[in-house]
Amino acid sequence: MSLPLEGIKVLDLSRLLPGGFCTLLLADMGAEVVKVEDPKGGDYIRWMPPFINKESAYFLALNRNKKSIKLNLRSKMGKEVFLKLSREYDVILEGFRPGVVNKLGISYEEIKRVNPKIIYCSLSGFGQDGPYRERVGHDINYIGIGGILSITGEKGGPPVIPGVQIADIGGGMLAAIAILASLVSKERGEYIDVSMLDGVISWLVLVAGKYFADGKIPQRGEMQLSGELLGYNVYPTKDGKSISLGALEPKFWQNFCQSIKREDLIDKQFAEGEEKEKILKELKTLFQSKTQDEWGEFFKDKEVCSEPVNDLPSVFSHPQVKQRQMLFEIDHPTEGPIKQIGLPIKFSSAIKHGQDQKAGQSPGVKEVRKNPPPGFGEHTEEILKSIGYSQEEIEKIEREES
């Protein structure tokens, strides 16, 4: 198996989800990722419930294919080791509040003195400048100040917190994209400033585009793609589940209307006001007449852009999800087999070709890296030896770091 980032070495100083998701992507794509963890506790997510036996389920989900080293960056010895490590690595990711790495003496300016080609990415809530640069925050705050909470929810209802941490995950993805872009020209080195708030605002591209055009403040449940359109909505079904309808283009709306024998609605796709509310009530009644599975079978071959609203067991048993290998298992030395979400990017170089592939299948089995998440400081000795420290020196470092 060959992956595109093989040979790239990353030092990960981040904690929790944003940086962890970034380096998960990099590690899955072949990079050697080393988590640099404080000896007094390491990555906070290690200790967050729920636990699988003794390991955090969240830590296990985010940290496969990574290594871990214990290093006290506040100590003189820890800083010395980190600077020596930095000479041998291509990328550093940090997620501290702005100014912390300067106090520690491991800022980009310090690191580039020993490694001018280093790619150094700072991932923070509000960015490295501006009046909010040192403000504390979490995902809910970034999507709050960035406007996404204000437009998420039902008409007339309160803002609704999304089911996943979109600012955190999106920030991690943006950091990964920026690192990959910098690797293309890594001979010159780079400092990268990624703000999760900036990411949130960038996702308003369509919503803001409309606002800039008509000056109308978007309202929850009243935007085209979040409740305004009859053909782009979620409808409850007879069994208490729901169906998503995405009949956005006229041809799909026409197919939908014809399939339910309501050709009279074909020219009502963009109905407004009382007319829309009347039709919406009729459609809700219609969808309540069948179960989710019955609607799935009914629309199966009709090209109306309709799919079930799945819970997680249904997601992971879905044939498309299985075919794309978006769920797999890793053998953990203490926790046994642990389920993992797959890499959402497929590389031809990581496909093991076989024979007699069925129509519609990928050309082979997608191979993935399956190294279990690291124990706390598991690779400290290995990594220190790799940069020239003797066993005696390592023992001295560990004594001073404890």
Of the candidates 28, 90, 139, 168, the residue annotated as catalytic is: 168
SS3 of the chain: the string is: CCCCCCCCEEEECCCHHHHHHHHHHHHHCCCEEEEEECCCCCCHHHHCCCEECCEEHHHHHHCCCEEEEECCCCCHHHHHHHHHHHCCCCEEEECCCCCHHHHHCCCHHHHHHHCCCCEEEEEECCCCCCCCCCCCCCHHHHHHHCCCHHHCCCCCCCCCCCCCCHHHHHHHHHHHHHHHHHHHCHHHCEEEEEEHHHHHHHCCHHHHHHHHHHCCCCCCCCCHHHHHCCCEEEEECCCCCEEEEECCCHHHHHHHHHHCCCHHHHHHCCCCHHHHHHHHHHHHHHHCCCCHHHHHHHHCCCCCCEEECCCHHHHHCCHHHHHCCCEEEEEECCCEEEEEECCCCCCHHHEEECCCCCCCCCCEEECCCCCCCCCCCCCHHHHHHHCCCCHHHHHHHHHHHC
168 is catalytic: yes
By annotation, the residues acting in catalysis are: 168
